Amino acid sequence: MSKTLLTADDQATLDALPDLEQIDFVLPDMNALSRGKRVTREALPKVYENGVCLPMSLLGTDVTGNTVEETGLGYDIGDEDRVCRPIPGTLRPVPWSTRPMAQALLAMEDRDGQVFAANPREVLKRVLDRFAARGLTPVVAVELEFYLLDNQLTPEGFPQTSINPATGLRNRTTQVYSMQDLDDYQAFTDEIDLVCRAQRIPADTAVAEYAPGQFEINLKHRADALAACDDAIMLKRAIKAVAAKQGLLATFMAKPFVEQAGSGTHIHVSLLDRDGHNIFACTPEAPNEQLKSAIAGLQRRGDDCLVMFAPHANSYRRFVLNAFVPLNTCWGFNNRTVAMRVPYSDPKNVRIEHRIAGADANPYLVTAAVLAGILDGLEHPADPGPPIAGNAYEQTEIRELFWRETLRDFMASKWIGETFGPEFHHIFGQQKLKELRSFNREVTSLEVDWYLRLV
């Protein structure tokens, strides 16, 4: 294969895998589920030269894997294939495989050979282009929370916490930031560390979170938001694969247990100007106007984007009191009860931590929505109100969130179409509407318990 078809990083990956047998080419869909093709090494030159063909409907599938015909990407166009090309720099080894394997991310093209505008990664890229036009570079980090569960469901079909590898007992208690939990699951965290090193995923912190078997892995800040989200996609795949290899089930479901904390995706953002200075630099005693305007933009566009932060029926189970989940759009310094937190730091490294999204959301779309809200604030300065000190749950109005209402706001928003493109607006909206209708048609076990004999 001609080396001119590969970036230096991709060529180095290939050179380091002389026994490589297969390559997974992965196209993350609207729900960030990995779809794609597995090819042999012999097919690699053809893929890098000509791409691979995949149905355009893959970006119009719902979370169950069925094509949403209302998107217009299925029967209406004869379920056409589109060329998908490897994203330069994303070829990485797959250390958890029993065979020598690699993987790379794909971007789907449209009929004209341009990147398909509704592709979530392309949606984010267009937002980043607007920052570049203003001479600004977002520095982004993604934090992902998840559960390690027993790979066997209960007889009733519900998840259950995992068996602690050290004690042999089922996890029952919460020990937030427990070093003992990290020690007990060291085989898992050690293998994740090895995978991240092999795949050049810049993960630097692992913590035990606020529920039994819940963990968080943090990715380093990057001045390339696309790469930061690529990292998050690959990290999620690695976590699931390593967990399965060790007899566990890793889930990024927003709320797998009623009585335990949900899992979130937290996005950290600072902005550098052309000279490399952070425009948010300030102190809590004197927050600067650009920081406040950025937060005001996030507040103003929060309802438009909420279904991008909470895309599934289960997402809304996470929004409950006293679970470190924001229930409105307030902000504050060094305060985990608010939606937009400004973490403790020295003045030059001030950043916004956006805490609304669930772990079940698409990292590209969450980041695109957060950055678009910040940009809207910079373009239309406003006052976000005073920062909240102390318990925000006791000082602010608590909102109840419902999937149908957030989807309605998204679909009715002119700003969404203008900001993220009409194709994305239509396809994502129709996908979520189909999922909502399908979900609402189901008769649940709770309904049977409540109503079967009593009404």
Specify whether 38 is located in the same domain as 134: no
Distance CA 334, CA 321 (A): 19
Residue pair 435/332 in contact (Cβ under 8 Å)? The answer is no
Structural domain contains residue 203: no
Specify whether 55 is located in the same domain as 136: no
pLDDT for res 177: 67
pLDDT tier, 426 (very low <50, low <70, confident <90, very high otherwise): very high
CA 380 to chain centre: 27
Place of tokens 């940009």: 375
Residue pair 373/297 in contact (Cβ under 8 Å)? The answer is yes
Specify whether 141 is located in the same domain as 8: no
Structural domain contains residue 46: yes
Place of tokens 């406003």: 382
Residue at which a domain ends, from 110, 139, 164: 110
* 63 CB-side CA count, 13 A: 17
Is 4 a residue whose pLDDT tops 70?
no
Distance CA 275, CA 277 (A): 6
Specify whether 291 is located in the same domain as 340: yes
Specify whether 288 is located in the same domain as 425: yes
Structural domain contains residue 97: yes
Across residues 311-336, what is the average pLDDT? Answer: 94
Distance CA 301, CA 310 (A): 14
Residue 437: which CATH number?
Answer: 3.30.590.10
5 or 28, which is more confident?
Answer: 28
Domains: count for the chain: 2
Provide CB contacts within 8 A for 329, sequence distance 6+.
298, 299, 302, 339, 340, 356
**Segment 109-119, tens digit of pLDDT:** 999 999 999 99
Residue at which a domain ends, from 85, 110, 135: 110
pLDDT for res 346: 94
Residue pair 283/358 in contact (Cβ under 8 Å)? The answer is no
Structural domain contains residue 154: no
Specify whether 57 is located in the same domain as 135: no
Structural domain contains residue 156: no
Structural domain contains residue 453: no
% of the chain with per-residue pLDDT over 90: 88
Q: For residue 287, which of 337, 351, 356, 330 has the smallest C-alpha distance?
A: 351
Mean pLDDT of the chain, nearest integer = 94
Take residue 103 and report the two structure tokens written for it: 């993987």
pLDDT tier, 446 (very low <50, low <70, confident <90, very high otherwise): very high
Specify whether 33 is located in the same domain as 133: no
pLDDT for res 210: 72
Helix (H, G, I), strand (E, B) or coil at 131: helix
Residue at which a domain ends, from 52, 84, 110: 110
pLDDT for res 178: 74
Structural domain contains residue 162: no
Specify whether 78 is located in the same domain as 142: no
Residue 20: which CATH number?
Answer: 3.10.20.70
User: What are the CA-CA distances from residue 223 to residues 32, 137, 141, 227, 367 (Å)?
Assistant: 22, 7, 9, 9, 13
Specify whether 264 is located in the same domain as 387: yes
**Segment 290-316, tens digit of pLDDT:** 999 999 999 999 999 999 999 999 999
Across residues 111-132, what is the average pLDDT? Answer: 96
Specify whether 141 is located in the same domain as 89: no
**Segment 165-215, tens digit of pLDDT:** 888 989 887 766 678 888 888 999 999 999 999 999 999 888 877 788 899
Structural domain contains residue 425: yes
pLDDT for res 212: 86
% of the chain with per-residue pLDDT over 70: 98
Specify whether 263 is located in the same domain as 326: yes
Distance CA 8, CA 50 (A): 19
**Segment 252-291, tens digit of pLDDT:** 999 999 989 999 999 999 999 999 999 999 999 999 999 9
Take residue 168 and report the two structure tokens written for it: 């042999």
Specify whether 34 is located in the same domain as 141: no
Phi and psi torsions of 108, nearest 5°: -85, 140
Domain that holds residue 321: 127-148+244-446
